[in-house]
Structure 1
Amino acid sequence: MPHVLILGGTSEGRALAEALVPYGPRLAVTSSLAGRVARPVLPPGDVRVGGFGGAGGLGRWLHEHRVDALIDATHPFAETISRNAALAAASAHVPLLALRRPSWAPGAGDRWHRVGSLAEAADALPALGARRVFLTTGRMGLAAFAHLDRTWFLVRSVDAPEPPFPARTHPLLDRGPFTLDGEREVLRRHRIDTVVTKDSGGAATAPKLTAAREAGLPVVVVRRPAAPEGVPVVETVTDAVGWARRVCG
């Protein structure tokens, strides 16, 4: 039977697996998780956890497991995985699709400062007069802020951050989706004056942007990387299911 491999670990990846698994036994569905989260929410169907060993390892896995379609539903900032997927799919001659949730767009009253990287986000904080920062970029990449020893950071992530990270770091271990009332309380309780986020998109973590707008706080937004050249992109699970059905017959 046709075999679809989903590179997941996101809510979209789980929703895609939930939509495709009912097509069995006419369709085999495998979801692959990177294994960076200690207790991930597993999707239905077959699941593998851990890396492939780069583009070459993924290409061999596609060939050995007779994968007919590859869907990259990883986080919009999982740039290395997406690049490896494009190389592996090309070498194994497997059709590839990227599923990406839409980017966030600023609304009236937002004080957004767009930057190109975490390093640029760190550089922007002193000019904004940031003293108490709500850092919602995850536990990876905190080294970019480690030199800011005069700034206090509230770092929210699913698992505890590992060094290097800023000397004045307070971890907040939590998993979305988050509510607007909850985000308002986080900003108030910790006296936040600046928010730093990646443009992850989606509704699960968007309430912090509304809370920041209401409080009149500046938000430093890291732009997401583009999908690898030549890889088609869709923004909804419905479109990804339609693509898989066409590719797999």
Structure 2
Amino acid sequence: MILVLGGTSDSLKICDLLNKMGKSYILSVATEYGKEISKKYCEDINVARLDKYDMIKFAKQNNIKIILDATHPYALDVSRNAMDASYELSIKYIRYERRSSDILEHENVIKVNNIKEACDVANKIGENIFLSTGSKNLGDFVGNLKNKNIIARVLPTSEVLRACENLGLKAHNIVAMKGPFSYDINKQLYKFYNCDLVITKESGAAGGFEEKLRASIDSNIKTIVILRPSLDYPQKIDDIEELNVQLLLSN
């Protein structure tokens, strides 16, 4: 049995692959929203935020032989827990991570390593700031971007909208839409909200990152990109065909 740690568009591609291969697997996601978007790909879905010990228990109960980690590139704790669990159980761990983009080298792109650095730069150069970083760390941005007009693009779920309101964001500060978004949609949103700065994460091609960045570059808007963190994965794959081969070899 394979445990797929998902919640991204990549994990849905992997479910498609496993279905075609006839592999038995369980998809684990952190939220009900993740379950909802995965239903048409997978029947056996676990909804839980698993720490290391939860993963060990779950793997033992379900006779897991491979952990296939397709979580978001910034979900480091989940990946660490998965690697630790696989090591303790002596089972195979494979990290599937979308390719990075090659368009980061532009004069209007400012690369930083974390949220604090992003806010430090943004406080100096931005006024109408478009946040395309998701809702997970929205509180850090709101707390550190003082006296700025923030436009946060987030998922259109009641849970996320309540979180935005609890942070003091008003209707005119919230763009509730499900991505990924096209170049044209991004460009029109930047124009509509009169943005002079975009903050995003280096999420990779599958997350619509290139469309966001090309739209801001072509609009002559400075963009702060929080670079993807890195872990020392025992095995990392960024191509679905290579994953196919590795799964065939693991039989």
Contact in 2 for aligned 1:6/1:70 (Cα 8 Å): yes
2:120 corresponds to: 123
**Corresponding residue for 2:67?**
70
Q: Assess, with a 3 A threshold, how the Cα gap between structure 1 residues 122 and 165 changes in structure 2: closer, same or farther.
A: farther
**Aligned with residue 32 of structure 1, among 3, 8, 28:** 28
1:213 matched to 2:217: yes
Q: What per-residue deviation string (whole Å, max 9, x for no partner) do you get for residues 171-209 of structure 1? A: 111111211111111011100100000110124422111
Pairing 1:1-249 to 2, within 5 Å after superposition: 3-24=1-22, 27-35=23-31, 37=33, 40-42=36-38, 43-52=41-50, 54-106=51-103, 109-128=106-125, 130-145=126-141, 146-158=143-155, 159=157, 160-161=160-161, 162=163, 165=167, 170-205=173-208, 206-227=210-231, 229-247=232-250, 249=251
Q: Using the TM superposition, give the Cα deviation of residue 48 of structure 1 relative to its aligned residue in structure 2, in angstroms.
A: 1.2
Cα distance, 1:60 vs. partner? 1.5
What is the alpha-carbon distance in structure 2 between the residues aligned to residue 83 and residue 30 of structure 1? 19
How far off its partner does 1:127 sit? 2.1
What per-residue deviation string (whole Å, max 9, x for no partner) do you get for residues 100-139 of structure 1? 00112226655111111112111111222x0001101110
Q: Which 5+ residue runs of structure 2 have no aligned equivalent?
A: none
C-alpha separation in 2, matches of 1:98 and 1:38: 19
Larger helix share, 1 or 2? 2
SS state of the match for residue 18, structure 2?
helix
What is the Cα deviation at residue 148 of structure 1?
A: 2.4
**Counterpart Cα distance in 1 of 2:105 and 2:229:** 25
For 2:6, the aligned partner's letter is G
Q: TM-score, normalised by structure 2?
A: 0.89
Q: Provide the aligned C-alpha RMSD in A.
A: 2.0
5+ residue gaps, structure 1: none
CA deviations 1:67-95 (Å, max 9, x no partner) are: 11111000000111001001111111110
Runs (4 or more) in structure 1 with deviation over 4 Å come to 107-110, 166-169
Whether the 8 Å contact between 2:6 and 2:28 is mirrored in structure 1 is: yes
| Rounded Cα–Cα distance in structure 2 between residues aligned with 1:120 and 1:108 | 18
CA contact (8 A) 2:151 2:174 kept: yes
**Equivalent-residue separation in structure 1 for 2:2 and 2:178 (angstroms):** 28
1:236 Cα deviation after fit: 1.6
Structure 2: which amino acid aligns with 1:235?
D
| Between 108-117 and 209-218, the greater mean CA deviation after superposition | 108-117
- Seen in structure 2, the aligned counterparts of structure 1 residues 170 and 244 have a Cα distance that, compared at 3 Å, is same
Provide closer, same or farther for how the CA distance between residues 165 and 115 of structure 1 changes in structure 2, counting only shifts above 3 A: farther
State the distance in 2 between where 1:188 and 1:215 align: 8
CA gap 1:123/1:213 in 2 versus in 1, 3 angstroms: same
Structure 2 Cα separation of the partners of residues 101 and 186 of structure 1: 26
Q: State the SS of the aligned residue for 1:138.
A: coil
TM-score by length of 1: 0.89
